[in-house]
Structure 1
Amino acid sequence: MIIDLGYARYQGTFDSRNNVTNFLGVRYASAPVGNLRFSAPRQPAITPGIQLADTQPSSCTSSRNPFSTARASIREGQIETSVMKGTEDCLFLNVHIPGESRPIEGLPVIVWIHGGGYSAGSAPAYPGSDLIRASGNRVVVVVVQYRLGLFGFLPGTKMKEGGALNAGLLDQDFALRWVQTHISKFGGDPEKVVIWGESAGAGSVLQHVIANDGNTDPKLFRAAMTSSTYLPSQYAYNSRISEALYNEVVSQANCAESINTLDCLRSARTEVLATVNTNISLDAFYGTFLFVPVIDGSFITQRPTEVLKQGKVNGEALLAVVNTNEGDMFVDQKTDLDAARYSGQLFPELGMEQEREVAEKYESLGNSVEQANRIMGEAIFTCPTYFLLDAFPNAYKGEFAIPPALHSHDISYYFTSWGPTFKNPDLLAAFSQSFISFVISLDPNAKFDSTNVTPQWRKFREGQEKMVFNRTENEKVDIRLMSDDRGLVERCRFWESVGAFTGQ
């Protein structure tokens, strides 16, 4: 099957095992290299001939995990080669469509945005055929790559003046506009696009929901889905923290003496910036990422919680899912910081008064490690999900609770090629089909599979209820509608109230 995009023609390959045609490594923007480094994405050049789209794209240059147990080894250079993984020429996407012959017309479209703390991740890890199989060949899937770390999220006044703030988000926006222009050629309906992501991918979804104060034109999607919404501190591009981060990059890249520091960074070797990227990430407070979206004054004009409180959102509906224990993997389980000190490290703009309030809110929730787990999980993941839900009149909330229900453990239950640990077919179908039903009908109750055992969902605003996906001790499926804990709701309202200090 050959698809003509105008600037290039791509030939897909048929996967007979999954009955899916894959178009891998489709370029959606020019390579952001040379003078285009740190710039907004551009239209790709015309490429003659037919491009065989049978090879996964190279990932974008990434950094090491700032909470990796291998931090010391990286410092000692024992696994330094891993720092250099990826390439700057990475603005590609994968398109997956059901069947082998002419595309089925008018199918709903899932655009998947990967997670990784805005510093890691790639398209090849997420096989769109898994979602198509779960849908019974009822959807088209697009998996997007975008610039990561300092290549995609370098802040500062110099970036505002001579580059593109939030370049990684602009890449995603550019890809969404690509979908509007081209997805009908693959059988997708551009008016039935749903964006979905996990962790920083879900955080990206939040950013597109609030982009342009909820008034993006043209409309790029009709609904959104988030799995573990990630909302770290999102400062103004010219805040003291943003400027300090830019200056640290300049210093470590040996550009401090340059007349034009941004030009110097543009001319630096990729290897140099990749090393800087990793070094700065490793110096961050345990479990946090530094190169993240900022308030840029144009694409993102206000703090996210403010836009959401105003109800200024792109999209008609939302399905949001969290994991029960979101924070644990981001917390040093040997930490001796009490709740006040931990929150002050996590949010450096908090004052002593706010830190005391945090300590009061969490003092009854276990020892210092358990409190830190709760603070991280609720402030950064769970409560931002509430803020999103509150902004949509048509919204549904789910919770993945299969033990240990840590962050990212839900992924293998919709991208089943990852290998879920609880392989009960009823649970797998119920969980994955909830997302697919929402994509098709904007309602997880609109089942397309009569064997789906999920009970009736209620809209979030009707009682702040969530659909909990769990198993019993004897390995039976346990899916039920439950009300959220009132203490959690109150703590989320607290975090919302101090958004000016947390940068959210």
Structure 2
Amino acid sequence: MRATLPLLALLSLAVAQAPAPVIDVGNAKYQGTVNAKNNISTYFGIRYAAAPVGDLRFRAPQSPPALVGVQRATTKPPRCLQASSGRSPTNPNPKSSLSGRAVQDHEDCLFLNVHFPGSTIPTRLLPVIVWIHGGRYIAGGASGFNGGDLIIRAKNGVVVVVIQYRLGIFGFLAGSKVKANGALNAGLLDQEFALKWVQQHISKFGGDPNQVTIWGESAGAGSVLQHVVARNGSTSPPLFRAAISSSSFLPSQHPFDGAVPERIFSQVVSQIGCGGAADALSCLRAAGVAKLQAANLRINHAGFYGTLVTVPVVDGDFITQRPSMALRQRRVNGEALLAVTNTHEGNGFVNQSTAATVKAANYALRLFPDLGAANAATVARLYAPVGSPISQVNAIMGESIFVCPTYSMLNAFPAASFKGEFAVPNGYHGVDQAFYFPSGRTPAFKNTAFIISFAGAFVDFATSLDPNEKIDSGNITPSRRARIHILTQGYMKVTKK
């Protein structure tokens, strides 16, 4: 009997992960696996762009090479090189605001995962959700998000794509020299390239390229915002019909050749030892990845506490003007928007150990050095009724970087926008992700009716452009135009603008 146990285990594994269909995406053929438990097919690690290494470093993404034979899409792809956000008590960029964890990740990381319901390709093309991970533009990856969770929530009514993109200095190094001989906002261009891949190939997986919804959380939601205003709101052909933003993230976005981006470029060049090179960017491309990653860690770690150094810039091409201006002018891509904020977005980005000493005016100036003393004093006066000084600065961070940009997005879609608030105590930033992707996470509020109603609203919107068109009969959310409280420990407001 003991001798048969390993065989039984192998047979069980084979049943749980059966081969999925072979799918030809032009440059390669991929074969994923079918999870017998939930009958969902998954393709891990599809290469949507060439490796951004060597001469392709700091350039726009390029088409992937041809691969011979059938590629086994069964292994989660490596994450892009990571960093962590600023930990400095002061802002190192005195004329504008903008990690310390070494990880074994890769520069060659432009992969995506595809999930579809069933063991065979759906015969009817289904709406598509493209998930853009968060992580402050310096961390995160596709592997932490099981697209099958969204398929289950949608009652097998969607196809899901989870993408990766370059991070930190690898994806967001800016400056005039990058503009001249490289690509600004390379991480955003990676995302756009992946969306173009979806348009070209997702029908082979059973997805409808005309019914694509982009969705992200935190920096992923910030990315969604960037794509909404991309190319002056006139991306041609369109890459998505709808957008979902969970905690829209919009830190200061400078011109590519502004003082802050140029200072950061100079710091990278200096730390790599390229200061005396005739062509600094060529020198950076020739540098070892370990040396670049060390600079990536140091530069991001030196940022003001909770803020980001390597973020999108106004590049004059993909992002033609400040996103706030584009939203005000309603120059947007997409037909409809669902946007959700959390009650306490800012707390995790503020150094809570400064509660005894922090002052609202001083904090506002450190967060936005161009604000000026008079405006900082006005901020302090406006936030004085909020409560203690630490509560005030938590609110300043949360509202300026997350909440206000969300309302700007909503106002840019006057005919079809929906607003939600995640307030399950304590409503901190990022806690809502466990409700969308429960695999490997534990929701803060374990109530089936709430989870169906809250998490279901997002897939409802992705399939019908209206979170009130319910897929799950167990969804207890009241009808359209209602502003509601669900249960006693949390609520989501769903309001059509």
* TM-score normalized by the length of structure 2: 0.91
For 1:274-423, list aligned pairs within 5 A. 274-335=293-354, 336-393=357-414, 394-417=416-439, 418-423=441-446
Q: Which amino acid aligns with 2:352?
A: Q
Task: Please say if residues 61 and 193 of structure 2, whose CA atoms lie closer than 8 Å, have aligned partners that are also in contact.
Answer: yes
Match of 1:456 among 455, 459, 479: 479
Task: Please say if residues 63 and 120 of structure 1, whose CA atoms lie closer than 8 Å, have aligned partners that are also in contact.
Answer: yes
158-167 or 59-68, larger mean C-alpha shift: 59-68
1:18 counterpart residue number? 38
1:142 partnered with 2:161: yes
Local SS of the residue matching 1:21: strand
CA displacement 1:382-420 (0-9 Å, x = unmatched): 110000000002100001100011000000011111121
CA displacement 1:213-262 (0-9 Å, x = unmatched): 10000000000000000000000000011111110111111111111111
Q: Aligned partners of 1:330, 1:67: CA distance in 2, in Å?
A: 10
213-222 or 275-284, larger mean C-alpha shift: 275-284
Structure 2 vs 1, CA of residues 483 and 352 (structure 1 numbering), >3 Å: closer, same or farther?
farther
Match of 2:209 among 171, 182, 190: 190
The offset of 1:110, in angstroms, is 0.1
Task: Please say if residues 418 and 495 of structure 2, whose CA atoms lie closer than 8 Å, have aligned partners that are also in contact.
Answer: no
The offset of 1:334, in angstroms, is 2.3
2:170 counterpart residue number? 151
Structure 2 vs 1, CA of residues 422 and 84 (structure 1 numbering), >3 Å: closer, same or farther?
closer
Q: Aligned partners of 1:87, 1:272: CA distance in 2, in Å?
A: 13
Task: Please say if residues 66 and 286 of structure 1, whose CA atoms lie closer than 8 Å, have aligned partners that are also in contact.
Answer: yes
The offset of 1:65, in angstroms, is 3.9
Task: Please say if residues 30 and 43 of structure 1, whose CA atoms lie closer than 8 Å, have aligned partners that are also in contact.
Answer: yes
| Alignment RMSD (CA, Å) | 1.9
For structure 2, the residue ranges without an aligned partner over 5 or more in a row are 1-20, 90-98
Match of 1:237 among 256, 262, 266: 256
Task: Please say if residues 421 and 493 of structure 2, whose CA atoms lie closer than 8 Å, have aligned partners that are also in contact.
Answer: no
The offset of 1:468, in angstroms, is 5.8
Number of aligned residues: 464
226-235 or 411-420, larger mean C-alpha shift: 411-420
Task: Please say if residues 116 and 160 of structure 2, whose CA atoms lie closer than 8 Å, have aligned partners that are also in contact.
Answer: yes
Q: Which amino acid aligns with 1:198?
A: E
Task: Name the % identity.
Answer: 52
Q: Which amino acid aligns with 1:429?
A: I
Task: Please say if residues 91 and 145 of structure 1, whose CA atoms lie closer than 8 Å, have aligned partners that are also in contact.
Answer: yes
Match of 2:69 among 49, 55, 65: 49
Structure 2 vs 1, CA of residues 438 and 480 (structure 1 numbering), >3 Å: closer, same or farther?
closer
The offset of 1:421, in angstroms, is 2.4
Local SS of the residue matching 1:189: strand
Q: Aligned partners of 1:212, 1:424: CA distance in 2, in Å?
A: 42
Task: Please say if residues 398 and 468 of structure 1, whose CA atoms lie closer than 8 Å, have aligned partners that are also in contact.
Answer: no
Structure 2 vs 1, CA of residues 62 and 479 (structure 1 numbering), >3 Å: closer, same or farther?
closer
Q: Aligned partners of 1:106, 1:52: CA distance in 2, in Å?
A: 24
Structure 2 vs 1, CA of residues 158 and 361 (structure 1 numbering), >3 Å: closer, same or farther?
same
Task: Please say if residues 435 and 451 of structure 2, whose CA atoms lie closer than 8 Å, have aligned partners that are also in contact.
Answer: yes
1:246 counterpart residue number? 265
Task: Please say if residues 238 and 333 of structure 2, whose CA atoms lie closer than 8 Å, have aligned partners that are also in contact.
Answer: yes
Q: Aligned partners of 1:321, 1:479: CA distance in 2, in Å?
A: 9
Local SS of the residue matching 1:218: coil
* TM-score normalized by the length of structure 1: 0.89
1:5 counterpart residue number? 25
Match of 1:87 among 106, 112, 115: 106
For 1:407-446, list aligned pairs within 5 A. 407-417=429-439, 418-446=441-469
Q: Which amino acid aligns with 1:113?
A: I
The offset of 1:449, in angstroms, is 1.8
Q: Which amino acid aligns with 1:2?
A: V
Local SS of the residue matching 1:448: coil
Structure 2 vs 1, CA of residues 45 and 224 (structure 1 numbering), >3 Å: closer, same or farther?
same
